[in-house]
């Protein structure tokens, strides 16, 4: 094989963008160096579910540096990215992950592209996906099978098989290798037979078009030592041609390396055809954004439940509410940044409204706590105020009522101030809570008001009994304001007058 030392590895670049435009600009220097390679290289693509670690698999296996976000369910790759791995002598294609929803037209076309140009296709599967792979990913398998059947003319003497390598991730040996391989083999064989019949090629044999291979990788975090050893073995096997390796053939590509991007561009033009990308992106965003809304809302609820204390002071409670809201919205913004902005914005508004609703419930719990504190303080001050009536210092019944009203207004004013300091959203109202507080305080002051009314009535009647021309031997009004037994006081005053 020719040396590839003068064709250096490249950083990842966009090949097909979000609008399905082919972006490659010819680099004469790279093309000249690539002429030494000829057709002795592989094109390796990876297909798998969004968030399943497809990009990480390429990076670990080929030493590429495709961007990963490190967040499951987040889509970091849009369209197709590519990079040249000099050590592996391969063009690696990182395709956007499947969403798990109905197989979209865009995803279908990207899978067609991968199946049309690749010599090795990695099917990235989590172990728990094996049993449902044949049904859940049926559309992907159908696209691959149909594309492979259409890839070459029957009489093409240069036709080659494509290596379809299932890489089973997070392998814990809870099922046997034989069972896993049998299930995957059965799934693709059934799909191939059906597609071949539909395309009126029932005689076409899967093994004439596809070389099936299987490999397993341990969990990258839980068993890192085993994982990276297995990745190293996988990387070596992908370079090896023959029964011991996954390499396709010695002459492994359809076209010389210096012409490969022009070839891929023509393939893509044919596959793309007429497609309304805007509609596809909006439809995809409409499917995925509600999922991200629920995920971010759960995050906010978890923060509210675990970290937002209703007994905190007003400013601390407000700061905690802001953190719960802003953190959840920030997570949503990161995950959805690659989706249609208009749809993203609409669902963001829904998320923010839902978070505010949850925070409002916590705010009302906070207000209930404030109300209990305010009512307790009012009770104490009211008791102190009652004790300050005549004779030390002298407060008349009318003055007592005025001071009680002032005390109630002061407590409500403080409550309003504390409630306002904790309020995150100006649309939240605490007027109903204020009415409840006023009602509770009215119940506390009602007996005192009744008592003062009785005193006033007793005083009035005593004045009616005692002739105005005579001076009573005692100050009855002063006695009445002591808040003692009014009937006994009035009776004593009348008896005292009668003895005179």
The pLDDT tens digits for 320-353 are 888 999 999 999 998 887 777 889 999 999 999 9
Distance, in Å, from the CA atom of 245 to the CA atom of 292, rounded to the nearest integer, reads 41
What whole-number distance in Å separates Cα of residue 306 and Cα of residue 308? 6
- pLDDT recorded at residue 229: 93
* Predicted pLDDT of residue 276: 63
Q: What is the distance between the alpha carbons of residues 477 and 466, in angstroms, rounded to a whole number?
A: 12
> For residue 167, which phi and psi values (nearest 5 degrees)?
-110, 110
Question: What does the pLDDT read at residue 479?
Answer: 45
When pLDDT is cut at 50, 70 and 90, the band that residue 497 belongs to is: very low
Q: How far apart are CA 46 and CA 96, in angstroms?
A: 9
Higher-pLDDT residue of 20 and 240 is 20
- Return the pLDDT at 465: 65
Contacts of 170 by beta carbon, 8 Å cutoff, 6+ apart: 126, 127, 128, 217, 218, 219
Tell me the pLDDT band of 407, cut-offs 50, 70 and 90.
confident
The reported pLDDT for the residue numbered 317 is 83
Sheet holding 210-216, edge to edge: 13-16, 80-85, 90-95, 42-48, 120-126, 162-169, 210-216
Confidence (pLDDT) at 187: 87
Predicted structure pTM score: 0.57
In terms of pLDDT, which residue wins out, 158 or 269? Answer: 269
Cβ(45)–Cβ(77) under 8 Å?
no
472: region left, alpha or beta (phi > 0 left; psi from -120 to 50 alpha): beta
For the segment 393-414, the average pLDDT, to the nearest whole number, is: 77
Contacts for 218 with CB less than 8 Å, ≥ 6 apart: 170, 171, 172, 226, 227, 230
What average pLDDT does the segment 45-59 reach? 86
Q: What percent of the chain has pLDDT over 90?
A: 13
Max avg pLDDT among 43-47, 276-280, 387-391, 470-474: 43-47
In 3D space, the residue among 232, 230, 203, 204 whose CA is nearest the CA of residue 215 turns out to be 230
Q: Which 3-state string (H, E, C) describes the chain?
A: CCCCCCCCCCCCEEEECCCCCECCCCCHHHHHHHCCCCCCCEEEEEEEECCCCHHHHHHHHHCCCCCCCCCCCCCCCCCEEEEEECCCCEEEEEECCECCCCCCHHHHHHHHHHHHHCCEEEEEEEHHHCCCHHHHCHHHHHHHHHHHHHHCCCCCCCCCCEEEEEEEECCCCCCCHHHHHHHHHHHHHHHHHHHHHHCCCCCCCHHHHEEEEEEECCCCCCCHHHHHHHHHHHHHHHHCECCCCCECCCCCCCCCHHHHHHHHHHHHHHHHCCCCHHHHHHHHHHHHHHHHHHHHHHHHHHHHHHHCCCCCCHHHHHHHHHHHHHHHHHHHHHHHCCCCHHHHHHHHHHHHHHHHHHHHHHHHHHHHHHHHHHHHHHHHHHHHHHHCCCCCCCCCHHHHHHHHHHHHHHHHHHHHHHHHHHCCCCCCCCHHHHHHHHHHHHHHHHHHHHHHHHHHHHHHHHHHHCCCCCCCCCCHHHHHCCCCCHHHHHHHHHHHHHHC
pLDDT attached to residue 282: 78
Task: Give the residue extent of every domain in the chain.
Answer: 13-275, 280-367
pLDDT tier at 469 (50, 70, 90 boundaries)?
low
Judge whether residue 3 has pLDDT over 50: no
pLDDT at 228: 92
Asked if 47 and 122 touch (Cβ cutoff 8 Å), the reply is: yes
Helix 341-387 × helix 431-465 angle, to 10°:
20
- How many Cα neighbours within 13 Å face the side chain of 183? 17
Q: Find residue 124's DSSP bridge partners.
A: 48, 167
Report which of residues 446 and 452 the model is more confident about. Answer: 446
Q: pLDDT (tens digit, 9 = 90+) per residue, 281-320? A: 777 788 888 988 999 999 999 988 888 888 878 888 888 8
Looking at the chain, the whole-number percentage of residues with pLDDT higher than 70 is: 79
- The pLDDT of residue 368 is above 90: no
**pLDDT, averaged across the chain:** 78
CA–CA dist 418, 363 (Å, integer): 12
Mean pLDDT lowest for which of 190-204, 239-253, 324-338?
239-253
> 170-174, 301-305, 417-421, 454-458 — which is least confidently predicted?
454-458
How confident is the model over 383-393, as pLDDT tens digits?
A: 887 776 655 55
The pLDDT value recorded for residue 486 is: 44
**490 pLDDT above the threshold of 50:** no
pLDDT band (50, 70, 90) for residue 45 = very high
CATH architecture for segment(s) 13-275 = 3-Layer(aba) Sandwich (3.40)
- At a CB cut-off of 8 Å and minimum separation 6, what does 295 contact? 73, 331, 332, 335
pLDDT digits (tens, 9 = 90+) for 203-236: 888 888 889 999 999 998 888 999 999 989 998 8
Contact in structure between 378 and 444 (CB atoms under 8 Å): yes
Is it the case that residue 475 has pLDDT exceeding 80? no
Q: Greater confidence, 321 or 153?
A: 321
């Amino acid at each position: 094989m020719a040396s590839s030392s003068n064709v250096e590895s490249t950083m990842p670049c966009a090949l097909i963008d979000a609008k399905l435009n082919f972006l490659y600009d010819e680099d004469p220097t790279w093309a000249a160096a690539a002429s030494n390679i000829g057709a002795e290289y592989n094109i390796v693509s990876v297909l798998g579910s969004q968030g399943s670690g497809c990009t990480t698999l390429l990076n670990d296996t080929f030493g590429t540096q495709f961007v990963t976000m490190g967040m499951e369910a987040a889509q970091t790759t849009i369209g197709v990215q590519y990079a040249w791995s000099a050590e592996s002598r391969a063009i690696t294609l990182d395709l956007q992950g499947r969403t798990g929803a109905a197989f979209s037209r865009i995803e279908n076309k990207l899978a067609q592209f991968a199946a049309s140009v690749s010599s090795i296709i990695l099917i990235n599967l989590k172990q728990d996906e094996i049993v449902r792979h044949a049904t859940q990913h049926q559309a992907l398998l159908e696209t691959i099978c149909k594309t492979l059947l259409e890839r070459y003319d029957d009489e093409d003497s240069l036709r080659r098989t494509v290596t379809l390598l299932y890489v089973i991730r997070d392998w814990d040996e809870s099922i046997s290798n034989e069972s896993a391989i049998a299930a995957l083999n059965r799934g693709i064989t059934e799909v191939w037979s059906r597609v071949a019949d539909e395309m009126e090629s029932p005689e076409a044999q899967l093994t004439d078009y596809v070389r099936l291979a299987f490999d397993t990788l341990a969990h990258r975090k839980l068993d890192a030592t085993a994982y990276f050893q297995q990745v190293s073995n996988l990387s070596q096997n992908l370079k090896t041609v023959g029964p011991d390796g996954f390499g396709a053939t010695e002459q492994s590509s359809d076209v010389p390396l210096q012409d490969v991007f022009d070839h891929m561009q023509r393939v893509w033009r044919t596959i793309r055809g007429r497609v309304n990308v805007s509609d596809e992106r909006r439809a995809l965003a409409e499917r995925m954004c509600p999922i991200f809304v629920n995920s971010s809302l759960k995050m906010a609820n978890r923060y509210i439940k675990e970290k937002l204390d209703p007994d905190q002071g007003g400013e601390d409670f407000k700061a905690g509410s802001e953190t719960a809201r802003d953190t959840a919205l920030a997570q949503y913004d990161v995950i959805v940044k690659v989706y249609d902005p208009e749809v993203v914005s609409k669902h963001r508004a829904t998320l923010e409204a839902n978070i505010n609703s949850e925070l409002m419930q916590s705010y009302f719990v906070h207000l209930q706590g404030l109300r209990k504190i305010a009512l307790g303080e009012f009770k104490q001050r009211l008791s102190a105020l009652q004790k300050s009536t005549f004779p030390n210092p002298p407060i008349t019944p009318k003055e007592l009522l005025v001071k009680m009203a002032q005390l109630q207004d002061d407590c409500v004013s403080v409550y309003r101030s504390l409630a306002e300091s904790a309020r995150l959203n100006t649309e939240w109202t605490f007027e109903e809570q204020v009415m409840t507080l006023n009602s509770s305080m009215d119940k506390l002051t009602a007996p005192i008001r009744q008592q003062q009314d009785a005193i006033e009535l007793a005083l009035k009647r005593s004045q009616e009994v005692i002739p105005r021309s005579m001076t009573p031997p005692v100050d009855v009004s002063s006695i009445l304001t002591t808040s003692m037994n009014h009937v006994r006081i009035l009776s004593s005053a009348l008896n005292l007058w009668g003895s005179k």
